[in-house]
Amino acid sequence: MEIYEVFQRRTHDDPLVHAGSIKAQDLEMALILARETHFRHGEGAECWVVKREDLHAVPNPETMGGVTDRSYRRQDGYVGVGAKLKRVTEEMKKLGKSITRE
């Protein structure tokens, strides 16, 4: 038997997420058995299966995202920007200047 990975969407608008794995003889049986194994309680609006051997992992996952500090590219690299802006605005105000914002 083959191993199939089962994916679901909770509603038709949700992304696919992994629901689990099943064994089945072939694709047709996998489609039949996936719903009984992972969808018996109304868990999802859609059920997808793919043979495990058709899923391919990217090699060297430890280097994914880079190894140097590039936090400026991420949302969490901008923590405290509001406070910085407030502080600078006040310092400028003391000098009789202002920052205009669009």
Partner 1 sequence: MSDPRASLLFALADDELIMGHRLSEWTGWVPYIEEDLALSSIAQDEIAHARMLLDILSVIDGRDPDALALGRAPSEYRNAILCELPNTDFAFTLARHWLYDHADDVRLRSLQESSFKELREAVAVMLLEERYHLEHADAWFRRLADCPVEARHRFGEALAAAMGPAEALFEPLDDESAIVSAGIAPAYTEELHDEWRARIGGMLDEVGFDQVLASRAEPATGEMVPTSSGEIEASGEAEARTPSVGAGGRRGEHSEHFEPLWLEMTALYRAHPGARW
Where on the chain is the footprint of partner 1 (CB under 8 A)?
A: 1, 22-25, 28-29, 32-33, 35-37, 40
Nearer to partner 1, 9 or 35 (CB): 35
**In the complex with partner 1, which residue's Cβ is closer, 10 or 23?**
23
- Note whether 30 and 2 are within 8 A (CB): yes
56: exposed, middle or buried (Cβ count in 10 Å: 0-12, 13-18, 19+):
exposed
Task: Quote the CA–CA distance of 50 and 54 in Å, as a whole number.
Answer: 7
Toward partner 1, which CB reaches closer, 3 or 88? 3
Least distance (Å) between residue 33 CB and partner 1: 4
> Least distance (Å) from partner 1 to the CB of residue 14?
23
Is residue 49 within 8 A of residue 30, CB to CB? The reply is yes
